Amino acid sequence: MSSPPKVLILGIGNLLWADEGFGVRCVEALAAGWRFPPNVTLLDGGTQGIYLVDQVREADVLVVFDAVDYGLAPGTLKRVEGDAVPKFMGAKKMSLHQTGFQEVLALAELLGGYPAHLLLIGVQPLALEDFGGSLRPEIRGRIGPAIAIAFEYLRDFGITPSPLDRVAAQGVNLPHPALGITAYELGRPAPEQACRVGDARVLSRIPAAAGAD
């Protein structure tokens, strides 16, 4: 029997920007509630761009949780598999800080070692422009269904996570406890303590995100 595939379950996005944190929160929820076999790695990738290329290249099976913009109704889950996952790079970046995950995938392909199996589980976000905010309830409610999609996919690779009785300690590749979703939400300064909104363009985008684009 061949050795089990190396599986990377990766959550990406910035947890400081409301629904942008969906991917990281999915991985956090997975770690808190489930036990995985040793060939599975859970990783909070944050917004790390190029730092993630190597992790991606090492994986045989890659499952990515992210907030995606496919122009769907907010909260809609989008499942994209294999070559349908976009990968491209742009040379006209203003900053290194614009290395998107598509570019991470393109670089992995360019350097060799692209994962044989790839699944993207995305959610259409409701609100992004809320610095210091957390997931909107509608989006948070999609963590469970998103995880179910991942489990169904992973079953084909012989992976069936077992539920944990108690909430587990933080894993090594997860957010620092101060950034755990509960501590993060409870510790947020009140609006009257620290102003939350600044820009009319920002304000204008929140209702726009709720409607069809």
Window 133-162: residues binding other proteins (CB under 8 A): none
- Cβ atoms of 127 and 209 within 8 Å: the answer is yes
Q: Does residue 49 belong to the site contacting other proteins (CB under 8 A)?
A: yes
Binding pattern for the stretch 180-209 against other proteins, x by CB under 8 A and - elsewhere: -------xxx---xxxxxxxxxx-xx----
Q: In whole angstroms, how far apart are CA 11 and each of 48, 88, 92, 113, 148? A: 11, 19, 26, 20, 15
Q: Does residue 95 belong to the site contacting other proteins (CB under 8 A)?
A: yes
Q: Does residue 82 belong to the site contacting other proteins (CB under 8 A)?
A: no
Q: Does residue 115 belong to the site contacting other proteins (CB under 8 A)?
A: no
Smallest gap from Cβ 148 to other proteins, in A, equals 21
- Whats the size of the chain, residue-wise? 213
Distance CA 135, CA 137 (A): 6
Distance CA 3, CA 99 (A): 33
Distance CA 83, CA 102 (A): 12
Q: Does residue 41 belong to the site contacting other proteins (CB under 8 A)?
A: no
Q: Does residue 30 belong to the site contacting other proteins (CB under 8 A)?
A: no
**Between residues 76 and 98, which has the closer beta carbon with respect to other proteins?**
98
